[in-house]
Amino acid sequence: MRVIQLPNPSRILCFAFYIIFTLLQQATAERELKFVAVVFRHGDRTPIVNFPTDLHKESEWPQGFGQLTKTGMQQLYELGQYVRKRYSNFLNSTYNRKEFYIQSTDYDRTIMSAQSYLSGLFPPTSSQIWNPELLWQPIPVHIVPKATDRRLHFPLSDCPRFDELQNETQTSSEFQSRIQPYMDFLQTMAVNTGLELNHLKILDNFQLWNTYDTLYCEGIHNYSLPVWATKDVVDKMEKLAELSLLSLFGVYKTEEKSRLQGGVLVNIILNSFKQAANSSRERKMEVYSAAV
Ligand SMILES: *[C@@H]1O[C@H](CO)[C@@H](O)[C@H](O)[C@H]1NC(C)=O
Ligand SMILES: *[C@@H]1O[C@H](CO)[C@@H](O)[C@H](O)[C@H]1NC(C)=O
Ligand SMILES: *[C@@H]1O[C@H](CO)[C@@H](O)[C@H](O)[C@H]1NC(C)=O
Ligand SMILES: *[C@@H]1O[C@H](CO)[C@@H](O)[C@H](O)[C@H]1NC(C)=O
């Protein structure tokens, strides 16, 4: 199992993660690559929400909140090209539905990311070209509704044990000792953003993460930022945003929490590996445009 860090064109990619698991690596001559599983997150997008004192309205963003931007489309297109090149000796450049499967979560931005990725991975060649002026071909992206998606959606809904562990995390001394140093800062942030302190300091509701993310997106796209959003403040928010991700899986009963969420997808991938070891199966690559 191997994790590959893509050469990131810029920090914009920091929200796009990319993992390739390979069953057998080509490293030694006797070994034969049998199967590849790819998991990625969407590319650059517009903010998910704004906060009460935000300088920008949803209508100022093309297509509104939570949508893949042109930058995001380009990122995923390049990712597709990268994988095409990397696996040129493994994955036929002619699209074959028996060899290839792609699934996305049910969000515009993850579906569009999958589509952009496919444009880079499978531009039609020779007999698959259907319009010489458009080197693109339709390839099905499989989707199940959010409520029933037990593979890719995060958080997995209807997991009472995970909810319980999340609540325990918030009150755990491990977590509290990490958030305490930020209490004054959170109070200031509540005033600045117009959000309620009681909501802001519960990091797993993602209010703080979203606020940081909104400023981050606005900055990247050259939208004006509020005067209080100095580099120092934004850096501190970034630390807290990291802490909110950490509170999901990085502190307190980390193994059990990870198993109940990402563990489900890991299990699916491991089963695909087992099936791939059976050489009668034709599927060579499974791609997941995951998360939210
Ligand atoms: C790739 O696909 C084409 C068309 O189906 C086929 O003729 C060719 O043999 C395949 N190449 C490999 C290396 O499997
Ligand atoms: C977790 O805490 C929230 C807020 O206090 C509460 O509404 C919810 O019922 C709790 N869930 C569990 C599973 O304990
Ligand atoms: C923002 O401004 C910088 C500097 O002028 C420029 O390089 C960059 O392309 C702009 N970004 C966007 C998304 O317009
Ligand atoms: C391999 O695949 C064949 C055909 O799908 C199936 O009958 C067989 O049980 C599989 N073997 C293993 C070990 O999974």
Pair 122, 101: CB distance under 8 Å: no
pLDDT(266) > 70:
yes
pLDDT digit string (tens) for 50-98?
A: 999 999 999 999 999 999 999 999 999 999 999 999 999 999 999 999 9
| C-alpha 205 – ligand 2 centre gap (Å) | 12
* Per-residue pLDDT at 1 exceeds 80: no
pLDDT of residue 154: 81
**Closest approach atom of ligand 3 to CA 222:** 1
Q: pLDDT at position 17, please?
A: 37
Determine whether the shortest distance from the Cβ of 167 to ligand 2 is under 6 A. yes
Residue nearest to atom 1 of ligand 1 (CA): 92
Give the number of whichever ligand sits closest to the CA of residue 61: 3
Q: Poorest-confidence range of 14-28, 251-265, 277-291?
A: 14-28
Mean pLDDT of the chain: 89
- Please tell me the distance between residue 274's alpha carbon and the centre of ligand 4 in angstroms: 10
Instruction: Output the pLDDT for position 221.
Output: 97
For residue 54, the model assigns a pLDDT of: 97
Residue 206 predicted with pLDDT over 60? yes
Any atom of ligand 3 within 6 Å of the Cβ of 222:
yes
| Mutation pick for ligand 1 pocket among 84, 91, 92 (CB with most ligand atoms within 8 Å) | 92
> Per-residue pLDDT tens for 179-191?
999 999 999 999 9
* CA distance linking residue 86 with residue 178, whole number of Å: 41
Share of the chain above pLDDT 90, in %: 76
pLDDT for 29: 62
Q: Highest mean pLDDT: which of 98-107, 143-152, 270-279?
A: 98-107
The closest residue, in CA terms, to atom 5 on ligand 3 is 222
Q: What is the pLDDT of residue 32?
A: 87
13 vs 86, more confident: 86
Q: Whole-prediction pTM value?
A: 0.86
Ligand 1 pocket mutation, candidates 84, 94, 127, criterion most atoms within 8 A of CB: 94
Full set of structural domains in the chain with CATH: 2-156+261-290 (3.40.50.1240), 173-249 (no CATH)
Q: Where are the alpha helices (DSSP H) in the chain?
A: 70-86, 108-121, 160-171, 173-179, 183-193, 197-200, 207-220, 231-249, 254-260, 262-277
- Tens digits of residue pLDDT in 113-137: 999 999 999 999 999 999 999 999 9
94 ligand 1 Cβ < 6 A: yes
The verdict on whether omega for the bond into residue 138 sits within 30 degrees of 0, i.e. cis, is no
Instruction: State the first-to-last Cα distance of the chain, in angstroms, to the nearest integer.
Output: 24
pLDDT at position 18, please?
37
**Ligand 1 atom closest to residue 93's alpha carbon, by position in its atom list:** 1
**Cα(89)–Cα(101) distance, rounded to whole angstroms?**
18
Please, which residues bridge with residue 22 across strands? 36
**Residue 21 pLDDT > 60, yes or no?**
no
Look at residue 111 and tell me whether its pLDDT is greater than 50. Answer: yes
